Structure 1
Amino acid sequence: MKSLLLLLLPLSLHAARFPEKTPDSPGARMLDGYMQQQTTDIEEKGGLKDIQTAEDWQAKAPEYRRQLAEMLGLDPMPERTALMPTKTGEVKGDGYVIENMHYQAVPGLYVTANLYLPEKVEKPLPTILYVCGHSNVMKDGVSLGNKTGYHHHGIWFARHGYVCLIIDTAQLGEIRGEHHGTFSKGRWWWFSRGYTPAGLEAWASIRGLDYLETRPEVDKTRFGVTGRSGGGAYSWWVAALDDRIKAAAPTAGVTNMRNHVVDGCIEGHCDCMFYVNTYRWDYDRLVALVAPRPLLICNTDKDTIFPIDGVFSIYQNVRRIYTLLGQEKNIGLQVAEGGHLDLQPLNNGAFHWFERHLKGANAMAVLDEGAKKSLEPEVLKVLKEIPQDQKNTAIDETFVPKATPPSPPIAKADWDKQRDAWMTALKDKVFVNWPKEAPALTMAKENSIERDGIRMTAYDFETDHAFRLRLYIAHRKGLRLEDLDLVALNVLDGQGWQDFCNTYESRFSKLIESFPVTEKDEKSFESEKKMFETFKWGMAYLCPRGIGPTEWTGSEKAQTQRQRRFYLVGQTLDSMRIWDIRRAVEGLKGIPGFEKTPLWLQAHRDMAANALYASLFEEGITRLDLHELPASHQQGPAYLNVLKFLDIPQAAAMAAEKTRVIIYTGDSTAWEYPTNTAKNLGWPEKQWSIRKPVQ
């Protein structure tokens, strides 16, 4: 007997609603407080509270719709290329016919689908686009597509006088793509590309409507959209973006930001559920974009990944918009008892909604039957073999275009124009959600200790209203700060913090917190001591948030889910670490004795990139020493949308215009852009240099 696997639960439902319990720590408490603050700010500014009149909404809705498209990677919209629709088979049932077919949303992106039609079609009919949730249907290791898990919906619609197109998703279609890029695959570069599979699914749905408009059986003035779970989310995307949708009934596909970020519902969702939140929206703003068209919000009362409290809050907020528009009759809420399941009461609610709003049926009409499964999934399979030109499996690498690296400028005017455009993009699209108001920067001196000819002093400061960081400053015993020839700020990653502790902790344990010494490094200490004896230098050390004293612990999965929360609030962890570096630079300059002292920045690996970008926004940095600097955000730290505009080599060129930059690497080929830019524009020879790695 051949094996058949059929699941109608989200692939990630094994994740609990609440965050994984981890040992309490100062860093974890700071992070929790930070996410609470960010969520509250989004609730106040990113929802619908500023909409007080119908005129307010009508004025702002078009820009909101554009912002949504941008956050889905769809601004500008992809070219509407030839769909290449292809019918591969047909199934005849009791009162209905199914066409197995596919189309290409973009060249090479195959959307496998089943088109359900009444057995007899005498005139154009109302038409439903059904978008699928995470139904994993496999047989003998071959995907039959998640469309087959929802075939009972298509049959119901066809038997009741509708055309219905059910389309596979990228991840669970017959050609497997990926929705779990940040959930479990470590593809943090999705953030840098401004890519989310939500945008991919939205575009596949919009192209599905394009295809349906070509069919003579379809009344293109009466389109509806529905789907559950992931399909519920995609219903929002397409209904919000495309006004061809005249009625929508998303099921279990949305909740508010508080549920996701504070309560931990993000842990139950793959990336297809989220836009790249550049504009810091709460989800009621998305839902309201369906207004004033008929909208039924469907959910169960015990759904742990779409909790009813968040769903009801969204309903109430959006209902107010419908009321302002004089269309309160066009919004409804269907709640059924149960968990995250494909339940008949929810299905019947959606069916009833379309009967009313696409057919004009009486509100008291009674449905004669529910949707029942009756087909073997194999009969709905579209492809006999995977097309050789398919791009589904790697579409995340191309769907949102990244900026084409420019040629090194020849003229200063060209460089000035390009640099200014990049800086504008960084401010408006990449780091736009740095704090607008930060606490007063006070460097609180906590303690100072002398050991073996070295003085180390600890200063604490607030980088924002949640995180308090510690800055360590070491120099030769007996020197005043104002006697130092320079101070180098070392920005530490996890490995750097470990090395720092191994070097200093045994002598300065009262200053250094929360990290064990794995191997006391006397050789390193003696080297530091000799440096201080030889030069009148100061060494400052900073661990940005989540490292060293503010580290949050837990499993790899727990760490991943914490990092994902940042992009839900319109940031990334590394973009906020840049903010921490900026605050440390500002604070360091404010310490009495350092007002005029030359300041260097030094960092390794991803933190080198963070230090590089921090230097673009701060004045008075005289030198950057960057070790093992990643050559691209494709491998390096993730910042929202950055690859739409520039990559690390271009940022390095901008830094080199302001300060002396030294890259320590054994491969200079990745750095031809800043090298040639410096040469073409006649910058001083020492302004940009590449050295061999320090051994």
Structure 2
Amino acid sequence: MRTSLLLCLLPSLVIAASPYPEKTPDTPGNRLIGRYFAEQTREIAAENGLAKIQTAADWEGKAPEYRRELFEMLGLDPLPEKTPLHPTKTGEVKGEGYVVEKMHFQSMPGLYVTANLYLPAKVEKPLPTILYVCGHANVVKEGVSLGNKTGYEHHGVWYARHGYACLIIDTVQLGEIRGEHHGTYSKGRWWWFSRGYTPAGLEAWSCIRALDYLETRPEVDKTRFGVTGRSGGGAYSWWITALDERIKASAPTAGVTDMQNQVIDGCVEGHCDCMFFVNTYRWDFERMVALAAPRPLLIVNTDKDSIFPIDGVFRIYQNVRRLYALLGKEGNIGLQVAEGPHKDLQPLNIGAFHWFERFLKGADTMAVIDEGAKKTIEPTELRVFKEIPKDEINTRADETFVPMAKAPAPATNAADWEKQNEAWMSALKDKVFAGWPKDIASVNPQKESSAEMDGVRMTAYDFESQSPFRLRLYIVHRDGLRAEDLELVALNVLDEEGWDEFCATYHSRFGKLIEVFPGAPKDDAAFEQEKKMFTSFKWGMAYLCPRGVGPTAWSGSEKAQTQRLRRFYLLGQTLDGMRVWDIRRSVQTLRAIPGFGETPLWLQAHREMAVDALYASLFEDGIKRLDLHDMPLTHNGTVAGDPKAVGPAMLNVLKYLDLPQAAAMAAMRTRTIIYAPDKAAWEYPATVTKNLGKETQFQVRKPVTAEAGNEEPKKKEEPKK
């Protein structure tokens, strides 16, 4: 069987047959989400670019904290323990003027990095050394992965023949042991967001440990490290350059562009997850690039690269070049542009070779590179393993690389609880929901319409949640009652299933008010049940569709929806994290509508919206009761069993707490009722409330059947004061 060699970014191959972003219908919801992404991207560029750096002192004061933030966003703060590398040589290949050692090391126990070390045939003194990090080259023969390092062997040969040591390391995804880079790209592993995990961090760690290994080699001059690589390897070159000042010169190739290209222009759709950090601090990419300063940096790209467009690359170059000028090191930054698409082209390689000759060897700037990098080695010759080690964790590294927080013992006194609650709230504000708006405008509720049918009144209010999303709140109660007359109002947070049920219930009477299309399903029996409740009790029902549900829903294929969710992530958010914000704003809206300011408020939701409502309740005072139906058990997607048990993605949340702890926080503020079959799963909040003398604040009830109804309270039950 012939060797398969694909030397480009795998996701781009999937998309190559058609331009991206994928065309979607021109609907109001799609226009809204497009406007949102554009506004957020521009906000990040304005607030977190380099424009505010005006002096060298500005940068020198901020750079250490920026570097710490990047470690954190890659899942490397705290830094993993530097355990023994156990470097192992498994063979050798000799060529004309060079020798290749086939070897592996463990960046942490069981996390194997397969590599090839290229050396000149004769080494008389320590050499300048290149760490070459691979792009996505899928090299497979007879069903055996030979590692993407074999797709880039010609680079190693060139460096060795020109007086360098060069270590080429495999990535996790396409190494000899196949891990995963496509968790959110195509595998549905949205829990990566909740874990604060990105394979970019794992690859950055491999680079750090590779430098640790190289420092042990007598052939290596550890004061002259350079790094390069293209595509995915270009990205990893950025990570290690920004994180580790042992890198003295850098030439990342086709590995970065700005947020405008990624989010607005849709380049994110051509990249797997290894290209992105978890953007907790809402950076544009130029800040990461700037962490190379003032060391020699060559930005390398082609002019027709569809996934790293030259306009974004040039914007980054211009902004970072200004910083180098402020530092008095403008001669240390360069831009190498070659004609062509996203490919491993010789003009790009020559530019990198020239850069390292200058800055690692001190060669004449007019020196001529005598030859390009040519493929000479059969890929099978570079295979490291004959058998995959049984203790490898590469294939499940996403489950362990970023540790989850362990639930602390339930608090037994008020002081301990207050301390723990404060720590969790701080983490939620700063690490999980940091993408919420900083400048909070008035909700500005506007009464849009009102109608009465069969003794029931429905009123629609529009309010400002976050530009450009102006959402609608429907309030329903017995006609003739004023807001001041209501004994409670229950705010129902709807997902698509809930929205469909709401529309079916009220279609016959209020179809025009809720703009239900003709011929939509009707459920007159459900309306009669609601009418009976309104007749019996002085209760109001409010209904909210957070962004992306009902009136603001966006449309398109499953792939289009996947790429929208990934755009939120690049902006330092998740969709459900922003829906929590929408729920908060709906609570504020109810309080702002005349007559509802003092009305007891209940909050009800189902499924993933129950999780969103739970978190919203932690940030809004005066909610008397939570009713959470079909509640997921955890944010951790590695749990076995029903996938419905896994809650929606919230950025970084599992580094601090999980849903049982969030439920305990809510129960200490308001009466919380979870409708779930597994009472034992909610032992944590039950124990906390019992220990602190508030056991009536938390209850687990059996799920309410559809026949019994579960959209609203079915018996008069006064909220706890």
TM over 0.5: yes
State the alpha-carbon separation in 1 of the partners of residues 417 and 57 from structure 2. Answer: 43
Number of the residue aligned with 1:646: 657
Q: Which amino acid aligns with 1:693?
A: P
Alignment of 1:23-38 (within 5 A): 23-38=25-40
Is this contact kept in 2: 1:17–1:304, CA < 8 A?
A: no
Is this contact kept in 2: 1:498–1:515, CA < 8 A?
A: no
Task: Between 10-19 and 451-460, report the one with greater CA deviation.
Answer: 10-19
Q: Which residue of 305, 319, 322 maps to 2:321?
A: 319
Is this contact kept in 2: 1:109–1:392, CA < 8 A?
A: yes
Task: Check if 1:689 corresponds to 2:699.
Answer: yes
Is this contact kept in 1: 2:503–2:516, CA < 8 A?
A: no
Number of the residue aligned with 2:525: 523
By how many angstroms is 1:677 displaced?
A: 0.6
**Partner-residue secondary structure (3-state), 1:677:** helix
Q: Which amino acid aligns with 1:480?
A: R
User: Could you give the per-residue CA deviations for residues 478-505 of structure 1, whole angstroms, max 9, x where no partner exists?
Assistant: 2222211100000001111111111112
By how many angstroms is 1:518 displaced?
A: 5.5
Question: What's the % identity of the aligned pairs?
Answer: 72
Number of the residue aligned with 1:167: 169
**Partner-residue secondary structure (3-state), 2:668:** helix
**Partner-residue secondary structure (3-state), 2:466:** coil
Alignment of 1:201-600 (within 5 A): 201-513=203-515, 519-600=521-602
Task: Between 279-288 and 506-515, report the one with greater CA deviation.
Answer: 506-515
Which TM-score applies when normalising by structure 2? 0.95
Number of the residue aligned with 2:640: none
By how many angstroms is 1:623 displaced?
A: 0.2
Q: Which runs of 5+ in 1 are unaligned?
A: none
User: Could you give the per-residue CA deviations for residues 606-651 of structure 1, whole angstroms, max 9, x where no partner exists?
Assistant: 1001000000000110000000111111221111111111111101
Deviation >4 Å, runs of 4+: 514-518
By how many angstroms is 1:153 displaced?
A: 0.3
State the alpha-carbon separation in 2 of the partners of residues 88 and 70 from structure 1. Answer: 35
By how many angstroms is 1:452 displaced?
A: 2.2
Is this contact kept in 1: 2:507–2:516, CA < 8 A?
A: no
Q: Which amino acid aligns with 1:676?
A: T
Number of the residue aligned with 2:11: 12
Q: Which amino acid aligns with 1:366?
A: V
State the alpha-carbon separation in 2 of the partners of residues 433 and 519 from structure 1. Answer: 38
Q: Which amino acid aligns with 1:673?
A: Y
1:514 to 1:138, Cα distance in 2 relative to 1, 3 A: farther
Is this contact kept in 1: 2:444–2:463, CA < 8 A?
A: yes
By how many angstroms is 1:551 displaced?
A: 0.3
**Partner-residue secondary structure (3-state), 2:324:** helix
Alignment of 1:634-673 (within 5 A): 634=636, 635-673=646-684
State the alpha-carbon separation in 2 of the partners of residues 274 and 191 from structure 1. Answer: 12
1:615 to 1:517, Cα distance in 2 relative to 1, 3 A: farther
1:324 to 1:515, Cα distance in 2 relative to 1, 3 A: farther
Is this contact kept in 2: 1:474–1:539, CA < 8 A?
A: yes
By how many angstroms is 1:26 displaced?
A: 1.8
Is this contact kept in 2: 1:17–1:264, CA < 8 A?
A: no
State the alpha-carbon separation in 1 of the partners of residues 440 and 557 from structure 2. Answer: 31
Task: Check if 1:191 corresponds to 2:193.
Answer: yes
**Partner-residue secondary structure (3-state), 1:404:** coil
Q: Which runs of 5+ in 2 are unaligned?
A: 637-645, 706-721
**Partner-residue secondary structure (3-state), 1:105:** strand
By how many angstroms is 1:36 displaced?
A: 1.2
By how many angstroms is 1:507 displaced?
A: 2.0
1:386 to 1:513, Cα distance in 2 relative to 1, 3 A: farther
**Partner-residue secondary structure (3-state), 1:5:** coil
State the alpha-carbon separation in 2 of the partners of residues 397 and 265 from structure 1. Answer: 27
Q: Which amino acid aligns with 2:79?
A: M
**Partner-residue secondary structure (3-state), 1:693:** coil
Task: Between 533-542 and 23-32, report the one with greater CA deviation.
Answer: 23-32
Number of the residue aligned with 1:200: 202
User: Could you give the per-residue CA deviations for residues 450-483 of structure 1, whole angstroms, max 9, x where no partner exists?
Assistant: 1222111111111012101111111112222221
Q: Which amino acid aligns with 1:638?
A: A
User: Could you give the per-residue CA deviations for residues 263-319 of structure 1, whole angstroms, max 9, x where no partner exists?
Assistant: 000000011111111111111111110011110000000001000000001001111
State the alpha-carbon separation in 1 of the partners of residues 208 and 155 from structure 2. Answer: 20
Task: Between 413-422 and 504-513, report the one with greater CA deviation.
Answer: 504-513
By how many angstroms is 1:516 displaced?
A: 7.5
Which TM-score applies when normalising by structure 1? 0.98
1:680 to 1:516, Cα distance in 2 relative to 1, 3 A: farther
Q: Which amino acid aligns with 1:73?
A: G
By how many angstroms is 1:439 displaced?
A: 2.9
User: Could you give the per-residue CA deviations for residues 506-561 of structure 1, whole angstroms, max 9, x where no partner exists?
Assistant: 32111223667653222222211111111111100000000000000000000010
User: Could you give the per-residue CA deviations for residues 365-384 of structure 1, whole angstroms, max 9, x where no partner exists?
Assistant: 00110000111111111111
**Partner-residue secondary structure (3-state), 2:473:** strand
Is this contact kept in 1: 2:508–2:524, CA < 8 A?
A: no
**Partner-residue secondary structure (3-state), 2:99:** strand
Is this contact kept in 2: 1:504–1:525, CA < 8 A?
A: yes
Is this contact kept in 2: 1:227–1:235, CA < 8 A?
A: yes
User: Could you give the per-residue CA deviations for residues 82-138 of structure 1, whole angstroms, max 9, x where no partner exists?
Assistant: 001111111111111111111001111000111111111111100000000011111
Is this contact kept in 1: 2:41–2:264, CA < 8 A?
A: yes
State the alpha-carbon separation in 2 of the partners of residues 511 and 148 from structure 1. Answer: 64
State the alpha-carbon separation in 2 of the partners of residues 7 and 481 from structure 1. Answer: 66
Is this contact kept in 1: 2:633–2:660, CA < 8 A?
A: yes
